[in-house]
Structure 1
C-alpha cells in the first residue's frame, strides 16, 4: 500500500509483501448438541417465529390510545389478540414487526372504527374474550391468529382500510 506523501520513505528500502502464516486452522464447525440443524418445525400451536418479536410490545403500547372498544370488551384483550396477528404477518415476510403489521391487525377487526358493525362487535367479543391472559387462553389466541387468511397477511394497510368495514369477514376469516 502506498504511503502518504508526508511520510518519509527511504528509497533503498525493499517493498514489503504479504506472506501466508505457516499454520492454517481448520474451518469452524457448529458441533453444539442443542443446535438446530434443519428447518424450523411447523405444526399446530407452534406459532410463527421471526426476528426481534419483542419489539411488537413497544409498538402496541404506542397504539393503545387509538384502540376503541365497546362495553364488554377489553383493550388488553384487543391488543394481545392483534399482537399475535401482527407477529404472524411479520414472520410471513421474515422480518421484525413494524407498525403497519399492528395497523392491519387493528383495522381488520375494526378497533379503529368509531361505530363498528354490530355483528363485528359480537364476533370480537366472542373471539377476543380473555386473550390477554395468555397462560390460560393460549389456544384461543392461536386460533384467533390462525383463522386470518394468508391473503390478508399479504395486503397493504391501505388495502385493508379500503375493505373495512364491509368485508371484515373475508379479511378476518371469521
Structure 2
C-alpha cells in the first residue's frame, strides 16, 4: 500500500549501505593509563589470570547439594575456598573453568567422595572458616597455594585414586 502524499518518503536514505571509516594514518599505541605494556603482572596475591573466571561460581552451585560437609562447615565457605583452586587449574591449561576443575578442587579438600578422615575434616574446618567473607581474601589465596600446579594438572581419575590412597600427598602443607 502506498503512503499518503503528506508522509515524508526519502528513498535515498533507505538505499544507503555501510561504509567503513577512513583509514587511520597513525598506528594504535597502548598509551592509556590502564594498558598493560609489560604484560600481566606477577607476584604474591595477584592470582592466575584466565578467561571467563566468573563462570566458576555458577558451576560451583551445581555441586552445592553433593558437598560432604561436617557440622560447623558451610557450603559458602567450601565454594569460596575451592573456586580459587579450580580457577588456578583452568588457567594452568589456558582456558575458562569447566565442571571438572571444580570437581578436582572439591575432591582434593575432601568435599566430594571418597569420604575424608577426621583429621582432614578438622584441618579444613579451621582453614575454610569464614573464607566466603570478602575480608578473608588472603585466607582464600592461602588455600589456592596449598595445591601445587603439578597436582592440578593430573587427570581427575588419578586425583580420585590419590584421594582414596592418601589425600595429604596432594597438598603442600597439612
Q: TM-score, normalised by structure 1?
A: 0.80
Q: For residue 82 of structure 1, what is the aligned residue in structure 2?
A: 82
CA distance in 1, matches of 2:81, 2:30: 39
Q: For residue 123 of structure 2, what is the aligned residue in structure 1?
A: 123
Shift of 1:30: 2.8
Q: For residue 163 of structure 2, what is the aligned residue in structure 1?
A: 164
CA distance in 1, matches of 2:23, 2:49: 38
8 Å CA contact 1:117–1:165 kept in 2: the answer is no
Q: Report Cα offsets for 1:55-77 as digits up to 9, x if no partner.
A: 10110011111111011111111
Q: Report Cα offsets for 1:130-173 as digits up to 9, x if no partner.
A: 1111x211111111101211211111111111111332111122
Pair 138,24 (structure 1): closer, same or farther in 2 beyond 3 Å: closer
User: What are structure 2's unaligned runs of at least 5 residues?
Assistant: 1-21
Counterpart mapping for 1:31-42 below 5 A: 31-33=30-32, 34-42=34-42
CA RMSD for the aligned pairs?
1.7
User: What are structure 1's unaligned runs of at least 5 residues?
Assistant: 1-22
Kindly tell me the number of residue pairs found equivalent between the two proteins.
151
SS in 2 for 1:141: helix
Pair 70,114 (structure 1): closer, same or farther in 2 beyond 3 Å: farther
CA distance in 2, matches of 1:114, 1:31: 50
8 Å CA contact 2:30–2:37 kept in 1: the answer is no
Shift of 1:27: 6.1
CA distance in 1, matches of 2:80, 2:70: 16
8 Å CA contact 2:86–2:101 kept in 1: the answer is yes
Q: For residue 44 of structure 2, what is the aligned residue in structure 1?
A: 44
